[in-house]
């Protein structure tokens, strides 16, 4: 079946006793054994829960993987992936990176002797230059958050395999509806499922999908041992959100493209970062490996003094962190999502005091454009008075 049908049918035929088309929420933490030495397949919910299992099977199928794992948050998913590494191991990581991932690597994993070098993962010569005998994996965001840098997954995966390295891809921003990294050679895919997969700003969750029997077994062991698993209620909420993913991503993409085009010609905007625009430097790569584009992008205003009044005057668009929900949100990465990245690193990458990140929702595009127009007009009027 096409992915739209598989999404809509998540869990709809998984309950054989009652035939419920919405899979039940199993809040049980313990399950009876038929007799000594036998199990129904469910013993204790940290190890396996029926509701969570349906979700995990669904995401593994959608990402073309062998096994799926549901976690309490996206950061818990990343922490469990990082538990595969040991003291002295080294990672190559996307240069433009979500601040929470940077914090986890630099402030937590560093305590255990795991180090990282941040590089433009689309440049093989840079990857090769920073690879060491202790390098174990490449961690890629594509598109990156917030500057929307694109990595050629096929190219990097081939290079990594030649050196025996794992390829881990954060696919949060495109979801399996638009991009499936395992099909391009990656080994592990991770999602902050709180974002587009959940889609309604009402559930915290993380998902991991693995390719290969050995890697899937190791992830299963870590998932159970560390225990940062997703509860049954949140698993059900996430499945419900995923059923409408195709519809939502199509609207997110359409709205984001229209607004990115509008802002590209705005006199107060210096630059727009969106891989759906032909002007994006990696537009061709994005078109090769993805069937569509995300609903989030970033832009720089020409004067940093515009930032505060724009955020104060937006009405329909909320000044709030996070992304991927049906509601439009705008955030200021330098002081919010990326505050844990040192200022000199942020500025070198381009996450400076003129950058705003816009998670475009599914509202009518005309209403979003009107809100932007009035907020920009008010901001420019205030700044021009000074």
26, 98, 118, 274: the active-site residue? 98
195 annotated active-site: yes
131 annotated active-site: no
**Tokens for 79?**
């922490």
89, 152, 170, 187: the active-site residue? 170
**Tokens for 343?**
């200022």
Length of the chain: 386
**Tokens for 327?**
């509601």
Task: Read off φ and ψ for residue 183, nearest 5 degrees.
Answer: -70, -15
98 annotated active-site: yes
What is the gyration radius of the CA atoms in the chain, in angstroms? 21
Measured between its terminal Cα atoms, the distance across the chain in Å is: 60
For residue 316, the 8-state DSSP code is S
H or E element, residue 189: strand 188-192
**Tokens for 278?**
């032909």
Query: What gap in Å lies between CA 289 and CA 310, rounded to an integer?
Result: 35
306 annotated active-site: no
On whether the CB atoms of residues 243 and 8 are closer than 8 A, the answer is yes
52, 195, 248, 251: the active-site residue? 195
| Closest residue by Cα to residue 313 from 372, 367, 383, 272 | 372
| Closest residue by Cα to residue 167 from 93, 70, 114 | 93
Burial 163-184 (b: 16+ CB within 10 A, else e): eebbbbbbbbbbbbbbbbbbeb
Residues with a catalytic annotation lie at: 46, 98, 170, 195
């Amino acid at each position: 079946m096409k992915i739209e049908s598989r999404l809509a049918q998540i869990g709809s035929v998984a309950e054989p006793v009652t035939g419920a088309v919405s899979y039940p929420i199993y809040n049980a933490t313990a399950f009876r054994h038929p007799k000594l030495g036998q199990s129904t397949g469910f013993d204790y919910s940290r190890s396996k829960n029926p509701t969570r299992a349906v979700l995990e099977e669904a995401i593994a199928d959608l990402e073309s993987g062998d096994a799926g794992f549901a976690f309490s948050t996206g950061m818990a998913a990343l922490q469990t992936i990082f538990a595969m590494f040991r003291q002295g191991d080294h990672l190559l990581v996307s240069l433009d990176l979500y601040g929470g991932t940077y914090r986890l690597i630099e402030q937590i994993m560093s305590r255990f002797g795991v180090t990282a070098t941040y590089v433009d993962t689309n440049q093989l010569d840079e990857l090769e230059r920073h690879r060491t005998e202790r390098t174990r994996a490449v961690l890629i965001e594509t598109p990156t958050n917030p500057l929307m840098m694109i990595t050629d997954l096929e190219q990097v995966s081939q290079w990594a395999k030649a050196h025996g390295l794992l390829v881990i891809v954060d696919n949060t921003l495109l979801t399996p509806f638009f991009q499936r990294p395992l099909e391009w050679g990656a080994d592990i895919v991770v999602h902050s499922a709180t974002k587009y997969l959940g889609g309604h700003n009402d559930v915290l969750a993380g998902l991991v999908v693995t390719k290969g029997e050995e890697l899937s077994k190791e992830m299963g062991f870590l998932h159970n041992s560390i225990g940062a698993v997703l509860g049954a209620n949140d698993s059900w909420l996430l499945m419900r959100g995923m059923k409408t993913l195709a519809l939502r991503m199509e609207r997110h993409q359409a709205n984001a493209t229209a607004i990115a085009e509008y802002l590209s010609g705005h006199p107060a905007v210096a630059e727009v970062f969106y891989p759906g625009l032909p002007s994006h430097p990696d537009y061709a790569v994005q078109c090769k490996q993805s069937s569509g584009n995300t609903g989030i992008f970033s832009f720089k205003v020409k004067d940093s003094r515009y930032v505060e009044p724009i955020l104060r005057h937006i009405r329909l668009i909320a000044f709030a962190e996070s992304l991927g929900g049906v509601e439009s949100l705008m955030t200021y990465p330098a002081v919010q999502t990326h505050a844990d990245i040192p200022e000199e690193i942020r500025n070198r990458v381009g996450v400076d005091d003129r950058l705003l990140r816009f998670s475009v929702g599914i509202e009518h595009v005309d209403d979003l454009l009107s809100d932007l127009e009035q907020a920009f007009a008010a901001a420019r009027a205030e700044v021009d008075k000074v």
